[in-house]
């Protein structure tokens, strides 16, 4: 027993020493940004149920390799004038990390590209503002909460809701996501999550390995991505009872957003962002084979977008489905990937944001009532 304990002790010391050595090598040879995955500096979760997520006003940080600045009213944007200046048409975009611009500089988000497009040939003395109201990890309940808290102060003429397919979830009556996995927000995160965050904040070796390790674990089947991130792909999975309830609940949340906009006379445009596995059979095959995602034929058929279009028609609102426009381009150019993010089926690249802005422009001009000459 003494010999066994000695062997185990020497093994532990050797492993620890090796990790310390590798940590030093990474810090010297390939230094890592310890803030790369850290959103705590600019994002917060409300302590009271249903624990909505929001941007922290006046926050500054680096995140996923880009600079993040949150203004005094909680937008990822420059400071704006309140009340709204005369001769200003203000559009407010609301959404999750796609609208926020995950991994993308502010000026390259679809909000700011759209602002540039609108101001190319404006009417005399007229100016267009497109404000970025996106928040990491947001969902439909967070969007409604944001509008209830901020819209009156921001005075938008139109609101653009950026809907991603992982917004289709089961919501509580208060607007929170009802999954059991979200209940930890009212207390301490699970132990593995706390360890993961501790290492991400302090170990450059762990940051160097993090995305690659997750990709390996999911690709090898050691971790089941369908259990860890299955809710992100509810609408693209074979039909289930949860999926049915999620659609009903999400349509109810969208109806509440529509009612809010109608009640305040805000013109509304909904934009639906596709996922990469929807763009071609080869993309679908890649995510099925490489990450073992249980994806149904709904992905290629565009069934989720069809259901959202039908809902928009019944609700008499304008909707932009980006799936056809994205399918007209090479998918590898449209989604974020770099040395720390091997593949990301959800977050558009700079090119993906440009295409989104181009597709949104004409419907937005229509609901704003701008004539071809540029006058309202």
pLDDT in tens, 297-308: 888 999 999 999
**pLDDT of the residue at 374:** 45
Residue 325 — very low, low, confident or very high, per pLDDT cuts 50/70/90?
A: very high
Per-residue confidence (pLDDT) for residue 140, from 0 to 100: 96
**For the segment 269-312, what is each residue's pLDDT rounded down to a tens digit?**
999 999 999 999 999 999 999 888 899 888 899 999 999 999 99
Give residue-wise pLDDT tens across range 148-178.
Answer: 999 999 999 999 999 999 999 999 888 888 5
Phi, psi of 45 (to 5 degrees): -115, 125
% of the chain surpassing 70 pLDDT: 92
- Given a cut of 70, whether residue 371 has pLDDT beyond it is no
On the question of pLDDT at 107 being above 50, the answer is yes
Res 181: pLDDT:
38
Least confident of 1-5, 69-73, 81-85: 1-5
Please report the pLDDT score of residue 67 as a whole number: 94
What are the contacts of 35-41 at 24+ separation with CB within 8 A?
35/61, 35/62, 35/63, 36/62, 36/63, 36/64, 36/65, 36/207, 36/340, 37/63, 37/64, 37/200, 37/207, 37/210, 38/63, 38/200, 38/201, 39/63, 39/136, 41/68
Q: pLDDT at position 375, please?
A: 39
Q: Indicate the pLDDT class of residue 187, thresholds 50, 70 and 90.
A: low
pLDDT at 123 over 70: yes
> Tell me, what's the pLDDT at 178?
57
Q: In sequence order, what are the residues at sequence separation of 6 or more whose Cβ sits closer than 8 angstroms to the Cβ of residue 92?
A: 130, 131, 133, 151, 154, 156, 158, 159, 160
Give pLDDT, residue 253: 97
The pLDDT assigned to 372 comes to 45
pTM (2 d.p.):
0.89
To the nearest whole number, what is the mean pLDDT of the chain?
89
């Amino acid at each position: 027993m003494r010999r066994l304990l000695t062997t185990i002790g020497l093994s532990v010391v050797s492993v620890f020493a090796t990790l310390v050595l590798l940590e030093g090598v990474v810090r010297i040879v390939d230094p890592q940004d310890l803030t790369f995955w850290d959103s705590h500096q600019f994002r917060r979760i409300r302590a009271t149920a249903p624990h909505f997520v929001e941007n922290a006003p006046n926050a500054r940080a680096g995140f996923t390799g880009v600079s993040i600045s949150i203004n005094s009213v909680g937008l990822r944007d420059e400071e704006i004038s309140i009340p709204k200046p005369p001769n200003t048409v203000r559009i407010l975009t609301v959404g999750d990390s796609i609208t926020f611009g995950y991994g993308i500089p502010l000026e390259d988000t679809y909000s700011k590209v759209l602002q540039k497009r609108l101001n190319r040939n404006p009417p005399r003395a007229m100016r267009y503002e497109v404000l970025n109201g996106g928040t990491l990890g947001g969902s439909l309940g967070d969007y409604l909460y944001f509008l209830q808290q901020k819209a009156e102060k921001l005075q938008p003429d139109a609101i653009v809701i950026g809907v991603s397919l992982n917004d289709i979830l089961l919501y509580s009556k208060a607007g929170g996501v009802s999954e059991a996995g979200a209940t930890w927000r009212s207390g301490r995160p699970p132990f593995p999550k706390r360890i993961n965050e501790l290492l991400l904040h302090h170990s450059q070796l762990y940051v160097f390995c993090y995305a690659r390790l997750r990709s390996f674990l999911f690709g090898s089947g050691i971790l089941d991505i369908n259990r860890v991130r299955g809710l992100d792909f509810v609408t693209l999975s074979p039909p289930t009872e949860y999926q049915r309830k999620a659609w009903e609940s999400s349509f109810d949340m969208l109806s509440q957003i529509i009612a809010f906009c109608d009640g305040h006379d805000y013109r509304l445009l909904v934009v639906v962002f596709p996922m990469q596995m929807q763009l071609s059979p080869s993309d679908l095959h890649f995510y099925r084979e490489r990450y073992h995602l249980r994806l149904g034929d709904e992905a290629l058929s565009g069934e989720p977008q069809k259901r959202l279009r039908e809902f928009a028609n019944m609700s008499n609102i304008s909707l932009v489905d980006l799936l056809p426009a994205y399918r007209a381009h090479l998918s590898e150019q449209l989604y974020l990937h770099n040395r720390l993010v091997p593949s990301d089926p959800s977050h558009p690249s700079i090119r993906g944001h440009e295409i989104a802005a181009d597709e949104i422009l004409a419907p937005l001009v229509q609901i704003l009532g701008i004539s071809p000459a540029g006058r309202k």
